[in-house]
Amino acid sequence: MKRIGPASVGLIGFGALARQILASFEGQPIRWIVLLREGSTTEVPTEATVVRNLEDLVAARPHMVVEAAGQQSVAAFVPTLLQSGIPVVVASVGALADETTAAEIATARRMSGTRLIIPSGAIGGLDYLAAVACLPDTHVKYRLKKPVAAWRTELEALGLSQTTEPVTLFEGTPAEAARRYPKNLNAAFTAALTVQPAQTIVAVIADPALTANVHEIEVESTAGEATFRFSNAPSPDNPKTSFVTALSLVAAVRNFLDEGGTV
């Protein structure tokens, strides 16, 4: 089903990610529909229409919706949008670590045939991970290293707010990492989803020597060895998020619209 007329794009939430998405398409003939919770006083540009509930967002029939409001919004809104035939770009990929949410989304996709779009986020190399995922001996190590400013609360809880050495805050499965750090580990869970069913181990590190958010991925398999390292500038609005994350969402929206907005 091809798009007819100007594009319309829904945004769930209007924080730093959503603001950058809208700004990136300034001057283009796109109708924006922003879902804000009841009582929210968030300011939205005049060219965007604000709705206050999921029913009104569905009724507006956007050609696609971008979730940019955190893991809880994925469970609350994405299954219904997919069931309604509206494709969704999910920023909070870590929400899929919840088995119930993942199952509801899978059912909605299967019944409607609607696309769920998972952007690359803060990392690359996903094509390589997908290629080796089928090999029985594939092992992946994922390390997320960020400046101490991104982990201030966690370090204070450990009494290490003045650390001068790297501190490993977590090591374990991608699902547990996504649950513990819902605003930080979306890229790790994206990598884990791509390389399933291969084993992935995630480490979360606070490093006072860093000024950028660093993602390191090591892959070993019978196909060979690979190492990826991404040193990303933090978002000026949120040091826990890489600046490139919003650019990835913008690219996903642009690609979808360039394709004609097909379901």
Catalytic residues: 215
d(CA 99, CA 62): 28
Residues composing the chain? 263
Cβ within 8 Å of residue 158, ≥6 positions away: 167, 169
Residue-wise burial string across 152-181, b where 16 or more C-beta atoms lie within 10 A, e elsewhere: eebbeeeebeeeeeebebbeebbbebbbbb
The first and second tokens of residue 237, run together, are 């609005």
**Residue 190 CB burial class (10 angstroms; 0-12, 13-18, ≥19):** buried
Strands (E), the chain: 7-12, 30-35, 48-51, 64-67, 88-90, 116-117, 139-146, 167-172, 199-206, 213-221, 224-232, 234-235, 238-242
CB 137 within 8 A of CB 108: no
Q: Is cis: bond before 239, omega within 30 of 0?
A: no
